[in-house]
Each structure stands twice: as C-alpha cells, then as structure tokens.
Amino acid sequence: MNTTELRDELSARVASIDAPPSMSSAVAGKIRATKRRRAAAAAGVACAVAVLTGVTVVNAGRSTAPVLPAGRATSSVMVAADGMPYRPVPPSPGDVVRDGLRYRAQVGDDRLAVATIGAVGQSKVTLNWTPTTTRVSLAADCWVPGTDATSDSRPMVWVVVDGRRTFGVSCNASSAPAGDLGPSLDPDVTGTGWDQLVVGRVATIMLEVVDSKGQPLVNPDAQVAAAIYAKGPQRDVTDPSTGKVALQVPQVREYQGYRYRLDSLAVGRVSAGPLRRDTPAGKPFIVFFGTTETPVGTAGSTHVDGLTDGSVNAGDGGQTTANQPARPAGTITLRHEGATPKRGVQLLAIYTLAG
C-alpha cells in the first residue's frame, strides 16, 4: 500500500499534537485505519500503521509460526490456517538475533544491510550506515505493553534521519513475541530510491518512542528494533499516460518461508476498464493489486473478483495482497467502482510458488 491508504488511524491524535516544526511539516494528513487493517489481514501479517508522507507499507513484517490446523501437516509440507504452505526458515550467517527476535540476512531477494534490536526498556535505537544503494525497505518495530491498542493516544516510534523526523509507526500494545521480523515499510514510492539517502554518505537513522504529544517516552517495558534491507530485483510499473515509472514491484515475494515469483502483471489506466489474469491450477499463489497515486477521498474503490474469499477491496488508493491456496485454474478480475481518478494506474499481478 502507498501513503494515500494510510490515513485514518491516528487522525484525532495527529490533529491534537502540539508538535515542533519538524514534526508538523512532516505530517501530511489523516490516517485511514480501516483500510490499513483490511490490507494487513489480506497480507496475513500484523504490520504497524505508518504515518506521514512518502512511505509505503509492504507485505512483510512479523513471521511468527502460524497456527497449523490438525491434519494439515505432512512429512514434506505444512499448511497454515490460511491454507498456504508454511515452513520455518533456519538460521543463517548474517542474521541479527536478540531475545528470540530475528532479522534474517535475506528475505526473498532482499538482503539485510544493517539492523539492531534494542533491549527491553530501551526506547531509542540508532543505525549508522553508509548506503551502497538508495533502493531499500525499512523495518521499524516497536512494542509498549500495557497500552491501549485501540486508542488514538497510544505511543509511536518516530524514524529520524540525520536529525530530521520523517515518519512514524504506531507501537504494538504487547510485548514482542519471539519470531522473525522483516521489512514492512517502503520509503521509495516513486521507484527512484529513498530520497533521504545518498550513496557513499553516512546516514544516521534513529528510532525513538514518543507519546501522543510527540515527546520522548520512557517505559521500562518498551522495546524497539530497526533494520534496512537492500531490495532485490524489481519490475517497473510504467504509467502509460506519462511513460514514467509509477511504481516498482519485486520479482520475488516471500510468504511463510516460501518464495513466490512474479508470473503475470497487467497494468493500465483506471479509465481503461477492468484488468483480468488467469490463475494457476493446483498450486498456491499471491495476488498483488491496486492503484498508484490515487488521492484519498477523490476516487471510488478497487476490487478483485474471483478470489477464494470472494471480492477483496483495495479501497480508494494504494496496493495490497491476497494469498490464495491451491485450487483449480480460474480467472481474477480487477475492477473499479465509483469516481475515476485523474491520475495513477491500476495493476494486477500474480506471484506463483517458486519453492
């Protein structure tokens, strides 16, 4: 999903913040929490809510072992409660591990560049990194147990780059459960890289827990972790009306320990009508779909028909995923309802199991 979908969750809180200029200038609008929760459920992950401009929430995040229903595991393949295959990923050199939490050295084709996992009670961590690329994704994880997960006043963790607050992520209201962490935020929304990084110039990236007023929060149970991943190979999504790259999508996605490779991609203007793709027979796949650069509240909604769980709505802008268990061959259709956006493109992609 891109920034235009992340706009309800903390609206009341953002509106009430008496923030310093650096924070106020960064706040770009209200957060759409209902849409964020829908996309997180479709992706099968519990990503935190990102706030502010220039950030995309990607299909990644915690990878704790899913619930395996009785009778669904064999000697070679385990099937999780969502019907998708699951397998644990063994340790590898380059993993960053602490207190049962792990940033893996590689997720899909994305490779870990730098990471840190703070101790319990530590509400601030810092990454110092000399970028070799600006095409990166970011993990910004925060846990403050005992807070109200439904409250607009719950703590956030701010991402501060070279002294400048750039965006924030809401903290989880529980302690960090053991398991894998992964990149869940994409500051590269144009396909040109994170514009706050310069190759060869040291960047200092700090994550700091703050309260509802944006002030540093000291909590003996808080924990923060952060990582930067260099992206693997990407496929350009070009806007046919401008000829410019509107988005990049990964050639490979990983879900529950398995790799899924980009097999089919359809792109077009929203006004051009529905997009259709054939689905594979007898093997699981992931559908990635949505629109780009669609202003929130000015357009209708995007749906995909033909999925196992019926039509899935991507809302009024941004992208999301739907994980599909193995089934007979079929067809899925991306359609748009309501007002047609004046800019951006729609896309429909299928990732098939690669092993």
Mean pLDDT across 237-246: 85
Summary mean pLDDT of the chain: 79
Mean pLDDT across 159-171: 91
pLDDT of residue 292: 80
Q: 251 has which bridge partners?
A: none
Q: Are 292 and 345 in contact (CB under 8 A)?
A: yes
Summarize pLDDT for 101-117 with one digit per residue, the tens: 999 999 999 999 999 99
Mean pLDDT across 68-72: 47
DSSP 99-143: TTEEE-SEETTEEEEEEEEPPTT--EEEEEE--S-S-EEEEEEEE
pLDDT of residue 277: 97
More confident residue, 61 or 233: 233
Summarize pLDDT for 174-233 with one digit per residue, the tens: 999 899 998 888 887 667 889 899 999 999 999 999 988 889 998 999 999 999 999 999
Cα–Cα distance measured from residue 354 to residue 348, given in angstroms and rounded to the nearest whole number: 19
pLDDT of residue 58: 55
pLDDT of residue 281: 96
More confident residue, 186 or 151: 186
Is 50 exceeded by the pLDDT of residue 88? yes
Boundaries of every domain in the chain: 3-230, 234-353
More confident residue, 17 or 179: 179
pTM of the model: 0.77
Question: Of 232, 251, 237, 227, which Cα lies nearest the Cα of 113?
Answer: 227
Mean pLDDT across 243-271: 92
CATH of 234-353, one of 2.40.330, 2.60.120, 3.30.420, 2.60.40: 2.60.120
Residues 6+ positions from 164 with CB-CB distance below 8 Å:
22, 196
Structure tokens at 224: 């923060």
Summarize pLDDT for 300-336 with one digit per residue, the tens: 788 899 998 776 766 656 788 999 999 999 999 999 8
Cα–Cα distance measured from residue 276 to residue 273, given in angstroms and rounded to the nearest whole number: 10
DSSP 261-326: EEEEEEEEEGGG--EEEEE-SSS-EEEEEEESSPPTTSS-EEEEES-TTS-EEEETSEEEEEEE-S
Structure tokens at 67: 């619930």
